Chain A
Amino acid sequence: MLFLAPVMAVLGAVAVFPIAYSLYISFFSIKLTRPNRTPFVGLKNYTDLLGDEAFWGAVWRTVSFSLVSVTAIAFIALLVSLLLNQEFRGRRILSTILLVPWAIPYVANALMWKWIYDSSYGALNGLLYQLDFIDKYMVWLGDQDKTLFLIANAFVWKEVPLATILLLVSLKSIPSDLYAAARVDGATVWQRFVHVTLPAMKPGFMLVMIYETMMAIRHFDLFFILTEGGPGSASHVLSWHIYVETFRNLSFGSGAAMSYLLAIATFALSYLFIRTLGRKI
């Protein structure tokens, strides 16, 4: 297929080797501080992980982070895309504003939220205090029951624009005569929404779910800049665990094994979304 050739060439040249390489080293015990001892250990890196408490702790934190953020992103993006699909004055301005969070690099986004959440001079405390919602400054990121949700909030804020755009694009693909036909049939607003709009948004939802799930379960930058996995291990998610294992503990083998487990989970979820929401593929 000539049309597919360029994509396959790019992915083949750049992506296949790294993927094979990671798989290969995941079967070895590689500790960079012991360069002369790198035995082949087969599946041991994988089986060790399955019995590792810290690994499972990280898995659960990743699951709750992803669940909360993906749900929030999908829900908010749905509302926003429906809003922007209406005709009203100021819509152009609003849709430009919408893209601002997306345009802030993750590093700047993380620094901005760190700055807002700061418990001694942060804007969040300042605002809540001035509005009399709190009578003394609260601890935010340092409170282990709140950390994960606060990071999720920063993540959602940043990801909603992309999700909205993807949904808007599928809203645009609804032929307008479909609505007309529905109206002629006497369908109420709600019925039109359920029977015409929602089904048409399915492919958009599929993209949103695949992409945002992928991003959420692998998200790294915010954890790195906001908490480094702390306080305690409250935000020690899987992607952070992999980073620490690979680049701090210098255990490249088991780091790669974890990455592969994460990859399999990501693939399984994506497959699920494709099967349930996808059109033909």
Chain B
Amino acid sequence: MSAISRDEVAHLSRLARIEMTDSELDHLASELDLILGAVARVQEVAGADVPPTSHPLPLQNVFRPDVVTPSLTAAESLSGAPASAEQRFKVPQILGDAE
């Protein structure tokens, strides 16, 4: 039995916000099936007594003094934007008819 169906891949592509054609979905479903079959091996040794590691270093919050330092200007921040207006990022509508 395959670990992942074409419909599941379609669902994942919606979650990941990537449009996919039917042939891409078919191709990816069979590839992911193989890859998941290979990586599922991790379960063989992942016993309940083994603590997880998310990061190689012990992480802690890092603070800096609350002092104003030079940063990007508005023009610099917007310099790579596909569209901008009035010193803001201009984006397609997020509410309304299209949704």
Q: Verify that A and B bind, or say they do not.
A: no
Q: Which residues of B come within 8 Å of A, CB atoms?
A: none
